[in-house]
Structure formats: structure tokens, C-alpha cells
């Protein structure tokens, strides 16, 4: 278990600060399989997870959805045959918050565990 996934998500307000470039760089080291992407001007974390079939991909999607609901922090999930793409960002601030990196680390744990 990484130190990042053990951290608690904090309630996020619309005026919460986004993580700056230096913080992003440091946090990405803890979730190295994730990439920074820009979707319509909004920075996000994205990772594709591969599976042998649709049933395994669907089960993983459900685990991520359950995790998201527990935290009240919801990603974009794309379920395809043998693949799930997950994108984390904080809707309220239109960018990345530390919570997104925490949730990425927790998502990794679901895949590996």
C-alpha cells in the first residue's frame, strides 16, 4: 500500500486550489501508470486497465464505481471489451486536486488486489 492511497480525501470546495505543476510532478511519481491529459481545457489523470474479457472489465468498473460512491468523488469510466479507461479530476474546481491522485492510487490497488 502506498502512502498516497492511505491518505484521506478532503471535502473539496469550489474555491479549493488546484495542484500546481511541481505538486503534479511529485504526485505522479506515486501513481506512475497514470498520465496527465487535457480534456476540453480541463487537466485530468487517465489510465487504461486491460482485462481478458468484458466480464472482468465490468467487475473492475463496478469496484471503481463503489469506491467513488464511498468517497463522493466520481470519475469518468469507459467500459469496453477487455479495457476500462478511468479519468479522475475534480469537477468543482475544473482541474486536479490532491484527492484525484489519492483516488488514482486507490484505483490501482483495486486492479492489483
pLDDT of residue 16: 83
User: 6 falls in which pLDDT band (50, 70, 90)?
Assistant: confident
Residues 55-90 pLDDT 10s = 999 999 999 999 999 988 999 999 999 999 999 999
Does the reported pTM lie above 0.85?
Answer: yes
Q: 92 φ, ψ to 5°?
A: -60, -30
pLDDT of residue 2: 63
Q: At which residue does the C-alpha cell 488514482 appear?
A: 104
pLDDT of residue 11: 64
Any domain includes 79: yes
Based on the structure, what is the number of domains in the chain?
1
Q: The domain spanning residue 59 has which CATH number? A: 3.30.1360.20
More confident residue, 49 or 18: 49
Amino acid at each position: 500500500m502506498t502512502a498516497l492511497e492511505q491518505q484521506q480525501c478532503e471535502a473539496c470546495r469550489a474555491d479549493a486550489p488546484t495542484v500546481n505543476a511541481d505538486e503534479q510532478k511529485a504526485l505522479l511519481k506515486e501513481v506512475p501508470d497514470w498520465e496527465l491529459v487535457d480534456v476540453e481545457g480541463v487537466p485530468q489523470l487517465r489510465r487504461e486497465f486491460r482485462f481478458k474479457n468484458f466480464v472482468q472489465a465490468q467487475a473492475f468498473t463496478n469496484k471503481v464505481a463503489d469506491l467513488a460512491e464511498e468517497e463522493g468523488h466520481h470519475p469518468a469510466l469507459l467500459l469496453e471489451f477487455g479495457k476500462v479507461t478511468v479519468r479522475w479530476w475534480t469537477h468543482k474546481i475544473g482541474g486536479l486536486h490532491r484527492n484525484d491522485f489519492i483516488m488514482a492510487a486507490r484505483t490501482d490497488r483495486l486492479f492489483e488486489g
